[in-house]
Amino acid sequence: MKIKIIYFLTAIILVFAIIIKILSVYFGNNPLNNSRYGYINYVSVIPEGWAFFTKNARDPLTYIFKNSDGNITSVNLRNFSSDYSYGISRHNRIVSIEIGNVFDKINKDTLTKGTSIKALDVDELTNILKEKKVDYKDIYIEKKHSPDLNGKYIFVLQRLLPWTLLNRKSNYKSTFVIYPVNIIYK
């Protein structure tokens, strides 16, 4: 009787393992395989929308603005938001990897320089960017490295204020470094 139970449980585990493997192939692009031409696909099921587990407190904050026919709109990068099913969707992580690829290309390109702008917050920065004439630098990147990012974007890094100024934040302007780029596929 014990052997039949062991065989039964082994068969159930094997069937579930095969089903999970088959389903993971159809989940598409994920952070473990950021290429749309992937050979092996994996999927993780735990939401990873809590950045305080992995992010250093002194890292600059990243914002992205898309320029669509002169209209500058913010791109949502918050993983724990309704746009990304509160961390369950992996699309945000894929976009984050693509942003890393673009930043890597920006850092390697000596012609692309960041411009510093002082502003109280992101809303004030958005208003400044809408009024300011921005000169976009062309960045040529392979489509497989950033399939979701194409066109004119403004990448923004906000340098955080020191801890001692956080209580008086409204009195001090933060430094935002902007990188206006026109992403073109090779």
The pLDDT value given to residue 52: 54
37 pLDDT band, cuts 50/70/90, is very low
Element (H, E) at 61: strand 61-68
Q: Say which residues have a Cβ less than 8 Å from residue 76's Cβ, sequence separation at least 6.
A: 83, 84
Looking at residue 41, what is its pLDDT?
A: 43
**pLDDT for residue 53:** 58
Per-residue pLDDT tens digits for 142-170 = 888 888 888 899 989 888 777 766 666 56
- Report the percent of the chain where pLDDT is more than 70: 73
> If you ran DSSP here, which 8-state letter would residue 27 be given?
T
Average pLDDT for residues 86-106, to the nearest whole number?
A: 80
Average pLDDT over residues 29-48: 48
User: Which tokens belong to 21?
Assistant: 């493997």
Closest CA to 116 of 174, 65, 167, 40: 174
Token pair 């850092």 is at which residue? Answer: 107
Q: How confident is the model at residue 11 (pLDDT cuts 50, 70, 90)?
A: very high
Cβ burial of 141 (10 Å; 0-12, 13-18, 19+) is buried
**What is the mean predicted confidence (pLDDT) over 103-127?**
81
Higher pLDDT, 36 or 56: 56
More confident residue, 4 or 54: 4
Phi, psi (rounded to 5 degrees) for 84: -115, 30
pLDDT of residue 12: 94
pLDDT at 145: 80
Selected residue with higher pLDDT from 84 and 65? 65
- 52-61, 103-112, 124-133, 159-168: range with highest mean pLDDT: 124-133
